[in-house]
Amino acid sequence: GENVEQHPSTLSVQEGDSAVIKCTYSDSASNYFPWYKQELGKRPQLIIDIRSNVGEKKDQRIAVTLNKTAKHFSLHITETQPEDSAVYFCAASRGGGNKLTFGTGTQLKVEL
């Protein structure tokens, strides 16, 4: 089955700096890669996703890049703000039943 590794497990940045979270996946048939943000005690919220026919996608301060050959994808957050502090999960799916395999999560802390 699919295996998704996520690094780092914790990330601390200064407000205004950029943050990068990286994930690798094992199943070359995976073709859908969402990123979720989960604040403490709240539900996971989809913040951006990318499909395998695209190499990069951007939405304001958030971008995701995908390298199919190397089987890794990354989340980039620019101009970080305190409200970006949360746990971020990457995930991968090969379609069909849309079973998402989640990474282990990254605790992002944006310090003032």
Interface with another protein by CB under 8 A: which residues?
31-32, 34, 36, 42-46, 49, 89, 93, 95-100, 102-105
Residue 57 to residue 66: CA distance in whole angstroms: 9
Residue 62 to residue 89: CA distance in whole angstroms: 14
Whether the CB-CB separation of 108 and 13 falls below 8 Å is answered with yes
Least distance (Å) between residue 16 CB and another protein: 27
Least distance (Å) between residue 49 CB and another protein: 6
Q: Which is nearer to another protein, 35 or 77 (CB)?
A: 35
Phi then psi dihedrals of residue 83, to 5 deg = -70, -5
Residue 108 to residue 110: CA distance in whole angstroms: 7
Q: Which is nearer to another protein, 14 or 60 (CB)?
A: 60
Q: For the beta carbon of residue 94, count every other beta carbon within 10 angstroms.
A: 18
Q: Which is nearer to another protein, 32 or 78 (CB)?
A: 32
Least distance (Å) between residue 107 CB and another protein: 8
Q: Which is nearer to another protein, 5 or 79 (CB)?
A: 5
At 112, which helix (H) or strand (E)?
none
Least distance (Å) between residue 104 CB and another protein: 6
